[in-house]
Amino acid sequence: MNETNPSCLRCQSLPEKLEEGGEGRLFVWLPLGHSFGKLVRLLGDSGRDYQVLPAGQCVAVRLNGTEVGAFAADAMGTLTGEEARATRALFVQGEGEPGLADFPRVGSLPQLLTMTRSGWLVDMLSEQRVTSHYQPIVYARDTRKVYAYEALLRGREPDGALVSPGRMLELARDADLLFQLDLAARLSAVREAARLGLRVPIFINFTPTAIYDPAYCLRSTVATISELGMGPENVVFEIIESDHTPDASHLRALIAYYRKEGFRVALDDLGAGYSSLNLIHQLRPDIMKLDMELIRGIHEDAYKASITQKLLELAQKLGILTVAEGIETPEELRWVRQHGVDFVQGYLIAKPANPPTREPPDFSE
């Protein structure tokens, strides 16, 4: 791994928990003169030890690491929402001054507040309590036959209780920990699959915005897959359509990298966003996954049925395999089966689990 590459350090290092830090200075850069004045008045009224710095409308507030969160909350209560989002902050332990190496740690005031509350996620990542559950993707015509498993992110509390992915992802986005969580999720997906002895393709979700340069950011993932003896033909990377990066060239570069390494690519949540057809054209996926909201009650909704039928016809013409997600009723299964979907997944077949269901039920035609 090229340790001099900033993106590698970003993904593979964790921030120190502020509450464990000693005394230092919080540097706060304000966007406007009157915003600066508001904060200085707050500091004067609170009696805190601070220093006004001559350049950049900046103040340095002396705090203990345990006090940073409370101060950030007070400052956000003084500033407007836009002012708080435009304010930049950095906590430096001891008497040091911010240097170039500190630049990646500078964040908005709301991000700083979130970071002070994210200690449990930092602990989870550092203690490798990120794991994966697997949901079978089965053949539409024969639901007893497993085609693949989708790896789904889960966390574990110290007592073993599960942590929902939504809670983890929301905090990771707000606290600027998405890079580290996305990497941990990818590595968990392949390591757990190997430990469980899963011999069919594994679908792995990834977040495009958590990857700077695929040649560096994805190197450890590709190396781990190789070390575990998993052939690239047995790994499918899913792009979540509702969470894709707006930079189409960046997304194409990610896809090109995966394909160069021999992996396949799936476009997930198709139909959940507003640019499905454009994404199909730009990314040319190997597999399209139809969003569960599009499938829900499709046998009773003419609009959903018409949209889905056209997507399936398009996929068939282009040679793209299709997966219908969120199948919960025999009627939904019957509809997608009749209209030519290749594979299905959903609670009707099996819920995500670790270890996963290996013998799905038979829903014969």
* Span 157-188, pLDDT tens digits: 999 999 999 999 989 988 888 889 989 999 99
pLDDT-based confidence at residue 271 (cuts at 50, 70, 90): low
**Cis peptide, bond prior to residue 355, ω within 30 of zero:** yes
Residues in the chain: 365
Tell me what pLDDT residue 243 has: 52
pLDDT-based confidence at residue 2 (cuts at 50, 70, 90): very low
pLDDT-based confidence at residue 345 (cuts at 50, 70, 90): very high
Tell me what pLDDT residue 334 has: 96
DSSP one-letter string for 277-313:
HHHHHHH--SEEEE-HHHHTTGGG-HHHHHHHHHHHH
The mean per-residue pLDDT over the stretch 265-291 comes to: 78
Tell me what pLDDT residue 1 has: 38
Residue ranges of domains in the chain, CATH in brackets? 6-117 (3.30.70), 122-344 (3.20.20.450)
- The DSSP bridge partners found for residue 162 are 156
Distance CA 316, CA 311 (A): 9
* pTM reported for the whole predicted model: 0.84
Tell me what pLDDT residue 175 has: 85
Higher pLDDT: 235 or 55? It is 235
Tell me what pLDDT residue 135 has: 98
8 Å CB contact between 292 and 326:
yes
The mean per-residue pLDDT over the stretch 249-253 comes to: 80
pLDDT-based confidence at residue 4 (cuts at 50, 70, 90): very low
pLDDT-based confidence at residue 145 (cuts at 50, 70, 90): very high
> How many Cα atoms within 13 Å fall on the side-chain side of residue 57?
14
User: What sign does the dihedral 308-312-315-321 (CA atoms) show?
Assistant: positive
Higher pLDDT: 297 or 206? It is 297
Tell me what pLDDT residue 7 has: 45
8 Å CB contact between 121 and 171:
yes
Asked whether the predicted pLDDT for residue 18 surpasses 70, the reply is: no
Asked whether the predicted pLDDT for residue 245 surpasses 80, the reply is: no
Torsion angle, alpha carbons of 255, 260, 264, 267, to 10: 10
Distance CA 67, CA 4 (A): 33
Asked whether the predicted pLDDT for residue 99 surpasses 90, the reply is: no
Cβ burial 275-296 (10 Å sphere, 16+ → b, else e): ebeebbeebebbbbbbbbebbb
Tell me what pLDDT residue 5 has: 46
